[in-house]
Amino acid sequence: MQELCGVLLCGGTGSRMGLAGKVTNKHLLPVYDRPMLCHGLDMFVAAGVHDVLVVVGDKSAGDVLAFVGDGAEFGLRCRFAFQRGATGIAGALALAREFAWPKSLMVVLGDNVVEDATEVGAIADRFRAQEKGARIVLKDVDDPRRFGVAVLDSDGHVIHITEKPAVPQSRYAVVGIYFYPRLVFDLVACLKPSARGELEISDVNSAFCATTGGAGLEADILLGWWSDAGTPDSLLHASTLVAEQRKSK
């Protein structure tokens, strides 16, 4: 069984949030009754992952440190890394190399909100049991053109991923929850910056597809609802979903 540590990515400039993104780190903006990043922390707790590296960027990094602290309030042990500049999600992941040794990784983008964190916990258990390769989480969405889109073979292996395709080949959006073996750091080290000057996580996932002819990247499809919360509209949508869930209980 693979041992896991966690990486919560809370960098970025928050530029898509408009004026709200100038107030503080966007991952501290409320999704209904709690800061956004709390939903990512919930996923680590549900997965039984207790050691978490929180990656922060130039925007209000101290606010995140002050809120999360050592992680004890959330049942975690948290440390921090600073991502200087816009080096991309894969660039942020590279900062976890020494922290993760010798464990594998559960990586969560800090603007992800799911209906049931225990569903992510079950996916983590499946990754722990697999012998090789990586694992990503997908969601069947109405408009996959806004996301990275995965195509699966008949056995559920990911064949390839296309970033924001004009004509999607499936409805499976790649959500920001990933499980990687330590091989991921070698793959990141070989990446070249994209046209926007960043190391792209989609290139990492595509590299896993290529390593073993598709068997290197497994996928799970979320059954419960999922939303990112990185824009004003998606933040409102996520807040509404959480509010309805709270009231139903």
pLDDT tens-digit profile of 147-176? Answer: 899 999 888 889 999 888 899 999 999 999
**Coil, strand or helix at 52:** strand
Q: Is residue 73 very low, low, confident or very high in pLDDT (cuts 50, 70, 90)?
A: very high
Q: Is 82 left (phi over 0), alpha (psi -120 to 50) or beta?
A: beta
> How confident is the model over 87-96, as a mean pLDDT?
94
Whole-number Å distance between alpha carbons of 159 and 182: 21
CATH number for the segment(s) 4-248: 3.90.550.10
Strand partners, 60: none
Task: Tell me the CA distances in angstroms from 151 to 26, 73, 209, one per residue in order.
Answer: 31, 39, 11
Q: How many other C-beta atoms lie within 10 A of the C-beta of residue 72?
A: 10
- Band the pLDDT of 212: cuts 50, 70, 90: low
Predicted TM-score of the model (pTM) = 0.95
Structure tokens at 175: 């959500």
Residue 43: CB atoms within 10 A of its CB come to 26
